[in-house]
């Protein structure tokens, strides 16, 4: 009964989310609809994409921020309720296509591009230049004290450390169980299950010594934390890439050129800084997006 209730609520959320993007909204507010998932980084990327399209073409863009997770956005674009959104390759490959993990970024991209085109009539555009993957994080002072740069380096110290991870990371197949086996991570006691909103505070306050976050979290730089390199390539690639309806690209050929100008333009450190400007300094997303595009020479000058 509990599983049925959860499934019902998820299905209802999906239906409501997709229904909120009606075709009439598209014709009233813009030529195309750009959606984003429900977290800050996606807000920023969606705005960068929308601004780039509006300022390099004659098209007007309707924004649909915080539409939902990957499943909601994927179904919305299949239904023609949105025209594009930013996805992460590993999420699409393992979550949407249900394929086993592949660590080679180029192989994942090519397989994803082919499958999305054939099965969904969706175009997988080239990466924006960064990936947002799981990040295993330690305090900067510890990284310097023990000269730790990689997860292999850290493995020898974890028997004296405490781990703190979110429930999903502890349970999912590509999460902690496989990571611990790959690197031989052993803690003083089983890792603590933590709310993701509290993991960095717990790390700074030395309640735990290692946590799992996202590689582009804005707080990483602000708090002086260090992301350990996944030197054995345990995690699949999660490159940020625009997903666009092929029908929309045929209707507006100039759209592909506009989006392609963003290819490779955002590095992981830059995305981390953009997230911090919005979350840490509470700057306006539109201004943050515009200033970034300006710094990359993407804004037209008179």
> Is 32-131+237-296's fold the same as 134-227's?
yes
How many angstroms separate the Cα of 250 from the Cα of each of 33, 58, 81, 201?
Answer: 15, 16, 17, 48
For residue 21, count other CB atoms closer than 10 A to its CB. 20
User: Mean pLDDT over residues 189-204, rounded?
Assistant: 91
Three-state secondary structure readout of 186-250:
CCCCCCEECCCCCHHHHHHCCCCCEEEEECCCCHHHHCCEEECECCCCCCCCCEEEEEEEHHHHH
pLDDT at 222: 85
CATH number for the domain running over 134-227: 3.40.190.120
Q: Are 271 and 132 in contact, with CB atoms under 8 Å apart?
A: yes
In the predicted structure, residue 202 carries a pLDDT above the cut 70: yes
pLDDT in tens, 61-101: 999 999 988 899 999 999 999 999 999 999 899 889 989 88
By C-alpha distance, which of 228, 89, 212, 82 is closest to 157? 228
Please give the residue that has the higher pLDDT: either 15 or 183: 183
pLDDT at 25: 37
Average pLDDT, the chain: 89
In the predicted structure, residue 10 carries a pLDDT above the cut 70: no
In the predicted structure, residue 33 carries a pLDDT above the cut 80: yes
Confidence of residue 21 (pLDDT cuts 50, 70, 90): low
User: Mean pLDDT over residues 163-190, rounded?
Assistant: 89
Strand order in the sheet with 192-193: 192-193, 163-165, 210-214, 134-139, 225-227
Confidence of residue 29 (pLDDT cuts 50, 70, 90): confident
CATH 3.40.190.10, domain 32-131+237-296, yes or no = yes
pLDDT at 27: 38
In the predicted structure, residue 221 carries a pLDDT above the cut 90: no
Domain residue ranges of the chain, discontinuous segments joined by +: 32-131+237-296, 134-227
Confidence of residue 149 (pLDDT cuts 50, 70, 90): very high
CA dihedral 168, 174, 177, 180 (to 10 degrees): -120
What is the residue whose two structure tokens read 């999305």? 116
The model's pTM? 0.78
pLDDT at 219: 87
pLDDT at 77: 98
User: Mean pLDDT over residues 275-301, rounded?
Assistant: 93
Written as one string, the DSSP assignment of 108-128 is HHHHHHHHIIIII-EEEPPP-
pLDDT at 173: 65
Two structure tokens written together for 250 = 């045929």
Confidence of residue 6 (pLDDT cuts 50, 70, 90): very low
Three-state secondary structure readout of 15-74:
HHHHHCCCHHHHHHHCCEEEEEECCHHHHHHHHHHHHHHHHHCCCCEEEEEEEECHHHHH
Confidence of residue 14 (pLDDT cuts 50, 70, 90): low
Confidence of residue 20 (pLDDT cuts 50, 70, 90): low
What is the residue whose two structure tokens read 């499958």? 115
**Are β-strands 84-88 and 240-245 bridged in parallel, bridged antiparallel, or unpaired?**
antiparallel
Strand order in the sheet with 61-68: 61-68, 32-37, 84-88, 240-245, 122-124
In the predicted structure, residue 242 carries a pLDDT above the cut 90: yes
Confidence of residue 150 (pLDDT cuts 50, 70, 90): very high
């Amino acid at each position: 009964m509990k599983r049925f209730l959860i499934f019902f609520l998820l299905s209802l959320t999906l239906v409501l989310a997709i229904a909120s993007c009606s075709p009439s909204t598209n014709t009233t507010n813009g030529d195309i609809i750009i959606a984003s998932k429900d977290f800050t980084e996606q807000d920023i990327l969606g705005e960068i994409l929308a601004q780039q399209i509006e300022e390099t073409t004659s098209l007007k863009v309707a924004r649909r921020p915080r539409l939902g997770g990957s499943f909601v956005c994927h179904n919305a674009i299949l239904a023609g309720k949105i025209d594009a959104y930013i996805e992460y390759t590993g999420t699409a490959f393992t979550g949407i296509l249900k394929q086993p993990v592949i660590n080679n970024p180029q192989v994942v991209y090519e397989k994803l591009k082919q499958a999305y085109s054939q099965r969904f009539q969706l175009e997988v555009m080239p990466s924006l230049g960064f990936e947002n993957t799981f990040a295993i994080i330690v305090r900067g002072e510890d990284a310097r004290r023990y000269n730790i740069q990689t997860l292999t380096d850290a493995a020898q110290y974890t028997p004296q450390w405490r781990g703190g991870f979110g429930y999903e990371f502890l349970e999912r197949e590509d999460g902690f169980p496989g990571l611990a086996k790959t690197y031989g991570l052993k803690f003083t006691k089983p890792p603590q299950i933590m709310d993701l909103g509290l993991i960095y505070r717990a790390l700074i306050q030395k309640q735990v010594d290692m946590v799992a976050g996202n590689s582009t979290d804005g707080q990483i730089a602000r708090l002086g934390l260090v992301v350990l390199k996944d030197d054995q390539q345990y995690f699949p690639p999660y490159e940020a890439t625009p997903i666009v309806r092929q029908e929309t690209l045929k209707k507006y050929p100039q759209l592909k050129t506009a989006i392609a100008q963003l290819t490779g333009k955002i590095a992981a450190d830059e995305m981390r800084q953009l997230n911090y400007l919005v979350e840490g300094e509470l700057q306006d997303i539109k201004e943050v997006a515009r200033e970034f595009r300006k710094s990359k020479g993407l804004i037209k000058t008179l």
